[in-house]
Amino acid sequence: MAESRLIKKYPNRRLYDTKTSSYITLVDVKELVVGHEDFQVVDAKTGDDLTRSILLQIILEEETAGMPLFTSDLLTHMIRFYGNAMQGMLGKYLESNIHAFSDMQAKLTDQARTLYGENTPVNKDLWAQFLNFQGPAMQSMLSSYVDQSQKMFMQMQEQIEGQTRNLFAGFPFPAIPGIPGLAGQESEVKTKAAAKK
């Protein structure tokens, strides 16, 4: 396995690529990402890993220029998950969905190469033509995938709630609105307490 490319970030905000022994920009780092090149950005002084913050800067620049990928509604929902007990699960869920989407794109690219020939570059124009032709089918496929994902997520949440209820079934809890089963436990506890008097 090839060693990760090391990029050092200096206090003056400049990025230094140790492989090419030259200063680079965020645009250059974006090209490394697009080219599937493995790299790590570290603080030149402290050695702290800054890769995530650099990637977030690239996303911010992409979002403010041209067509944004994230809607305000999606960003709002994502922000609400910070500090939430489900934060880690949402991260894994989004990551697995991005991987699935990338796999689907790779398969479509392979199919396009098979149709148009190995030497034909699969460029944006070809993708645009393909998606215009396959638009409704793609939308339907993505919509059903999202529906299945949502159902799976809901089932997983119900399963966790069920396991939590079973785990704490022997403990007397006060009634909590919206959680069935606990109100009955409270009245049962009161009845037992009254019987002891």
Rounded Cα distance, 164 and 160, in Å: 6
pLDDT digits (tens, 9 = 90+) for 127-149: 566 666 555 665 666 666 667 77
pLDDT, tens digit, 9 for 90 and up, residues 58-106: 999 999 987 888 888 988 988 988 888 778 888 887 888 788 777 877 7
**138 lies in the same domain as 102:** yes
In a domain, 103, yes or no: yes
Could you give the CA distance from residue 190 to residue 174 in angstroms, rounded to a whole number?
10
Whether residue 10 is predicted with pLDDT greater than 90 in this model: the reply is yes
Question: Are 118 and 68 members of one domain?
Answer: no
Q: How many domains does the chain have?
A: 2
**Residue 177 belongs to a domain:** no
Return phi, psi of residue 53, to 5°.
-65, -35
Q: Is 62 helix (H, G, I), strand (E, B) or coil?
A: helix
Cβ–Cβ < 8 Å for 28, 61: no
| Domain membership of residue 28 as a residue range | 1-72
Report the distance separating Cα 174 and Cα 195, nearest Å: 19
Q: Is residue 187 part of a domain?
A: no
Q: How far apart are CA 197 and CA 20, in angstroms?
A: 83
| 5 found inside a domain | yes
